Amino acid sequence: MKELLLIAVGSAIVNNVVLSQFLGICPFLGVSKKTETAAGMGGAVIFVITLSSFVTAVIYKFILANESLMKMGIDLTYLKTIVYILVIACLVQFVEMFLKKQMPPLYESLGVYLPLITTNCAVLGVALTNVTKEYGILESVVNGLATAVGFFSAIVRRAGVREKIEYNDIPKPFQGTAIVLITAALMSIAFMGFSGMI
Amino acid sequence: MNKNMERLYNGIIKENPTFVLMLGMCPTLAVTSSAINGLGMGLSTTVVLILSNLLISAFRKIIPDGVRVPAFIVIVASLVTIVEFMMKAYFPSLSASLGVYIPLIVVNCIILGRAESYASKNPIMPSIFDGIGMGLGFTLGLTCIGLVRELLGAGQIFGAQILSLSWFTPITIFVMAPGAFLVLAFLVAGMNIIRKKMDEKGKPLAKPAGCLDGDCASCGKADGCKDRKEA
């Protein structure tokens, strides 16, 4: 239990996926103009990353690093990049179709963000990190969920800051993306304060 | 200037992926803490880009239009796996410091973007040169950002101490995460000024094509991104 908690705090706060790992920069910079939109995107990412962490961990344990295959000398782990990217792309499609059919209200709120998520390198990044750190299935799911919560908190905060600076007098060359990057730098400095926690 | 040279010039200067098109921002931020990391990442991306352009251009008449993006992804992912293992075998320390960002070359916008907008429509030779040009342009961008960060953050260039520590206090923050955002912010601001000057001269630069503030038209993932404008 203690280990799981450490993984969760580590991924959500200390090694924040956006502000210190630089994964998922595109949606972080591009999507979040309003807090509600950012929250919608963040929610969709939590959903997809948690699910994909689970599915990729199961595939890794029972197919790619299958014990009986390993004993026979067949090691499929080198296929992980190819398998994961395809699994994630399919998974997002399935989730979209399922939500559209079965849960229209949820689809209304998350639907537009789902296609964007395949292009989010955080999803593949988490799946690959789970393998590098040799997490089991439960640990992978916890790590995925915590990473996504970190993404959610970063993107919502960033949208909040952006709403506030809308009316400020920003030097012309810095308007748009440049000021967003400066805010990101300041948020990143703030998050560095957590670095001694674990 | 023949077509192949034109492709090289286009990739390195005119449509430089880092400075002009602003593509592939995740690796740009993540691996530029030193010039050597930037160079290593740039060159690995170049290798993947050249080979993927070659293969995609060779298969362009066979791959059906409807499944082209998944087909491209499989080709790119296979190449990335090969490069990943080569790096592990021949440059273990570089491979360790680049870590998860090597397999993440798969989701780099530049590679799918070039596949979609150039290699899938053009013959093999120009596609290879397009890959070389774009790859070297990206390498140049990453190495330059890496140089600036390493010089400010440690007083070093390619690991050699340039600024003497007796009078220079390294601004350590530049080799850490916030420094990446700061350097990129100033780069974007500088490019905004240059862009405006070039517009006034009547020689406008290419629009950013990447995820920053450009539109997604030339990106391979444009299909997935089409809802972005409404979002």
pTM of the predicted structure, to 2 decimals:
0.87
- Residue A106 token pair: 């949820």
- pLDDT of res. B226: 43
CB contact under 8 A, B106 and A129: no
CB pairs under 8 A between A and B: 141
CB contacts of B41 in chain A (<8 Å) are none
Label residue B18 exposed, middle or buried (CB < 10 Å: 0-12, 13-18, 19+).
Answer: buried
Residue spans of the domains in chain A: they are 21-196
Do residues B136 and B43 lie in contact, with contact meaning Cβ atoms separated by under 8 Å? Answer: no
- Return the pLDDT at A68: 85
Residue B229 above 80 pLDDT? no
Contact flag B181-A119 (C-beta cutoff 8 Å): no
What would you report as the CA-atom Rg of chain A, rounded to the nearest whole angstrom? 18
Name which of B26, B32, B112 to mutate to probe chain A: the one with the most chain A Cβ atoms within 10 A of its Cβ.
B26
* DSSP at A62: I
Record: contact B228-A184, CB cut-off 8 A: no
Residue pair A195/B178 in contact (Cβ under 8 Å)? The answer is no
> Could you say which of A23, A85, A189 has the minimum Cβ distance to residue B106?
A85
Exposure string for B194-205, b = 16+ CB within 10 A, e = fewer: ebeeeeeeeeeb
Taking only the tens place, the pLDDT of each residue in B105-147 is: 988 888 888 888 889 899 999 999 999 999 999 999 999 999 9
Q: In chain B, which residues have their Cβ closer than 8 Å to the Cβ of A181?
A: 181-182, 184-185, 188
- Which B residues, 160 through 219, put their C-beta within 8 Å of a C-beta on chain A? 173, 176-182, 184-186, 188-190, 192-193, 196, 210-213
Residue B23 host element (H or E): none
Half-sphere exposure for A19 (CA within 13 Å, toward CB): 32
Q: Are A50 and A144 in contact (CB under 8 A)?
A: yes
B225 in contact with A, Cβ within 8 Å: yes
Distance CA B17, CA B4 (A): 18
Q: A114-132 in b/e burial notation, b at 16+ Cβ within 10 A? A: bbbbbbbbbbbbbbbbbbe
Q: Which residues of B touch A37 (CB under 8 A)?
A: 231
- Which positions 40-79 of B are in contact with A (Cβ < 8 Å)? 70, 73-74, 77-78
User: Residue B1's pLDDT is what?
Assistant: 61
Greater confidence (A167 vs B90) lies with B90
pLDDT score, position B25:
82
Quote the CA–CA distance of A48 and B18 in Å, as a whole number: 29
- Which ipTM value was assigned to this complex? 0.85
Task: Summarize pLDDT for A37-90 with one digit per residue, the tens.
Answer: 788 878 888 888 999 999 999 999 998 888 888 888 888 888 889 999 888 888
Closest CB to A181: pick one of B107, B177, B184: B184
pLDDT at A119: 62
The 10s digit of each residue's pLDDT in B193-217 is: 998 898 898 888 777 765 544 444 3
SS3 content of chain A, % helix, strand, coil (to 5): 80, 0, 20
> How far is the CA of B63 from the CAs of A83, B80, B125, B140, B231, in angstroms?
20, 20, 19, 32, 32
Interface test with B, best of A83, A84, A177 (most B CBs within 10 A): A177
Map tokens 């502000």 to a residue. Answer: A19
What is the tens place of the pLDDT at every residue in A75-134?
888 888 999 988 888 888 888 888 888 888 877 776 667 766 766 788 889 999 999 888
Tokens found for residue B16: 């430089």
Count of helices and strands (H, E) across chain B:
9, 2
What pLDDT was estimated at residue A71? Answer: 85
Which among B77, B104, B178 has CB closest to A188?
B178
